[in-house]
Structure 1
Amino acid sequence: MNMLDDEDDQSFHATRDGYSHLSDVEWDAVERMGSTMGIHAVSVMLEALNRDAQHATIAKFIQNELDAEREKVSLLHQQGSQQAELLREQGAQQFELLRQQQAAAGGSMHSRRPETLKIDISKYLGVDEDSLLRWFVELDDAIRARRIDDGDTQVAFAQSNLAGRAKTWTLGLKLHDPYAFGSLEVFKSRLRQTFEPPRAEFNDTPVACRGVIGPRALLERVLRSQR
């Protein structure tokens, strides 16, 4: 039974035959209008309109349906585009993260400190038999082999390879001035001025006295020479 023939609706008994001027497509639209608006409302509307107005009203209803479907399709397409864009962004982020991790791994390999070669050098005592120039050569070779770049560390390493009165002289200077050696070059220069012949300050000490002078007396001599 056609829905517009509903026997329960006493105010409207229209049948398809009563609207033969409507096409099948238009009549299907009328039935959809009845499902949406209600049968009674549709029947009243059709009875109030002439044929041209009926065609126009049904055409507008069909157009509204098409517009609604297009909007749904557009919304689905937009959601699909947004989802695709989100997936692309996630993929790009994952790729960038992987690139950074690879770069960090590669950088750590390139920045890995080369292995150092620990070369031992002889102790400089500050006596006549020692060659200060030769000790400087040994010192420079050891610093390069150990890859000591920091100036303070270079000075500390040089001081650790002093002994005898040379070490006592160094300690005396640092007790008087903790910053006596600002760099390795300053350390070498002051060591050369003190112990390198013929200007060595210790060389004016009689040989007999050198063998008997004690560390305390030697330290006092060093401090006096710096005043």
Structure 2
Amino acid sequence: MGIHAVSVMLEALNRDAQHATIAKFIQNERDAEREKFERLRQQKAAAGGSMHSRRPETLKIDISKYRGVEEDSLLRWFVELDDAIRARRIDDGDMQVAFDQSNLAGRAKTWALGLKLHDPYALGSLEVFKSRLRQTFEPPRAEFRALTELLKLKKGKRDVHAYAQHLRHLMSCISSNPVDEHTLVSVFMQGLADGPVKTHPFRL
């Protein structure tokens, strides 16, 4: 959806309706990827049902490697990891941990191998793996930095969809104290480029 389309849509609404519309738009952006993943999963399952009736079909989703560096979002990687585990139907705990380790790189991979050398059962389950990874690599102020970036976020030269996607990514990095809907709508509106879409909702 382009900036002009959003402008036309919002111009026809009063202030309360505008805020409700923007809130719905942001929620739709959150749901879009989930729906896309679910459609792909269902399509794959339907195709697999006719071709491989003896075993459930899996969807091999590639995920990014977690390197243990500051610019990597551990929470975002956990979301990718959980989606991939479900799509691949990895139910065994040991296999889940092995899959997790296979998607580590750099200092994070070195850290995991060091633990296993000293204690083969140090990462005995998915929950333990996540907990120890979080304790070791999650910056203590990671959520604060994500919140600070979110509150200062500007649309810039991006289209509305890309702007909303970046907003959604920052939201995913804030889990302990999520941003409320009213603040989110205000941030979204303030971050839009100067023009009818930004100025109209605050016109007296």
Band of TM-score, shorter chain: 0.3 to 0.5
TM-score by length of 1: 0.39
State the structure with bigger RCO (CA 8 A, min sep 6), 1 or 2: 2
TM-score by length of 2: 0.43
